[in-house]
Each structure stands twice: as structure tokens, then as C-alpha cells.
């Protein structure tokens, strides 16, 4: 008894060798990995640097990541416009267009119905286009240093 190894013990030994080999390979790969701690204040470009590094040294973005970025662009566009509209009161900027309130309401409705992450409907696109052409919005944009407007809004 005990002089011969059972099939179970041989299997366990082989399994252990495979696991040890995988651990050695993983250790080598981890040893070659460079890590970088990126610190900075909010809105200073940390995420942008990370994205650029991925584009340069990785395979870019997956289709899912591109869809996610697209959704963020839609949302940031609407949120940026609403931020400028809210800033008008604080800056004392008086809208000159009668359509301003209607267009602002369209954007608020888009946000309230969680449609801000999707491609713009024709009505939303036209509202954004008319608001951006408005002199009051342009004045608020030129005075963006006086309130917080996301850097990506332009």
C-alpha cells in the first residue's frame, strides 16, 4: 500500500505543474507591465492622457467604448448648452431671441426623459443650432471663465 500512485494523485501532480507554469508566465508578464500614477485636479486632462495612451499603444477603442464615448458627447453637448443658459441669470445676460425659452425647454425635456445620450432628434438638433447662434449664448460662452463650463464645450 502506498507504493503506487493512483490516477487521482498523478492528475493532481500534472494539474499542479500546469498551474505553476501559468503562474510563472503571469509573473513575467506582470514584471514587464509599466504602471503610471496620474494625479491632477478635476478637469485637467487626466482621462484625456489615458485615452491618448490607449490609442497610441493599444488597439484603440472597442466598438462598445466608441458607442459609450459617442453617448457622452451627446450628453455633454446638451448639458453644456443648459449650463450656459442657467449662467445667463447670474451674468445678467438678457436673451434677445423669443425662441430661447422654447429651445431651452426642448433641451430640458430631453434630459428629463433620459434621451440626452442618444443621437439628436431633428427638433433637438434645431434647438441646439438656434441656441448656439443666439447672441446671448455667445456672450455667455465668451464669459465662460466667470462660471464653470466643461472644457469640452465648444
Residue 48 known to bind ligand = yes
What's residue 46's pLDDT? Answer: 86
Instruction: Report the length, in residues, of the chain.
Output: 154
Q: pTM of the prediction?
A: 0.64
Residue 46 known to bind ligand = yes
Residue 27 known to bind ligand = no
Residue pLDDT, tens place only, 44-77: 888 888 888 878 777 777 888 888 889 999 999 9
What's residue 95's pLDDT? Answer: 85
Which residue shows C-alpha cell 446671448?
136
Top-level class of domain 74-146: mainly alpha
Q: How far is Cα 13 from Cα 52, in angstroms, rounded to an integer?
A: 46
Percent of the chain topping pLDDT 70: 96
Which regions in the chain score pLDDT beneath 70?
Answer: 1-5, 154
What's residue 78's pLDDT? Answer: 95
The cell for 154 is 465648444
Q: How far is Cα 143 from Cα 87, in angstroms, rounded to an integer?
A: 10
What's residue 2's pLDDT? Answer: 55
Residue 140: partners with Cβ closer than 8 Å, 6 or more residues away: 84, 85, 87, 88, 91, 93
Residue 62 known to bind ligand = no
Closest C-alpha to 69, from 48, 45, 98: 48
User: Does residue 119 contact residue 66 with C-beta atoms inside 8 Å?
Assistant: no
Amino acid at each position: 500500500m502506498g507504493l503506487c500512485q493512483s490516477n487521482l494523485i498523478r492528475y493532481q501532480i500534472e494539474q499542479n505543474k500546469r498551474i505553476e507554469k501559468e503562474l510563472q508566465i503571469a509573473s513575467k508578464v506582470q514584471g514587464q507591465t509599466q504602471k503610471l500614477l496620474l494625479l491632477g485636479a478635476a478637469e485637467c486632462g487626466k482621462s484625456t492622457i489615458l485615452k491618448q495612451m490607449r490609442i497610441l499603444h493599444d488597439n484603440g477603442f472597442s466598438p462598445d467604448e466608441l458607442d459609450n464615448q459617442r453617448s457622452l458627447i451627446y450628453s455633454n453637448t446638451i448639458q453644456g448648452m443648459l449650463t450656459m443658459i442657467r449662467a445667463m441669470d447670474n451674468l445678467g445676460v438678457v436673451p434677445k431671441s423669443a425662441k430661447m425659452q422654447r429651445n431651452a425647454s426642448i433641451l430640458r425635456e430631453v434630459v428629463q426623459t433620459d434621451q440626452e445620450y442618444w443621437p439628436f432628434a431633428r427638433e433637438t438638433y434645431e434647438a441646439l443650432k438656434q441656441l448656439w447662434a443666439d447672441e446671448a449664448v455667445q456672450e455667455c460662452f465668451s464669459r465662460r471663465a466667470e462660471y464653470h463650463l466643461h472644457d469640452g464645450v465648444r
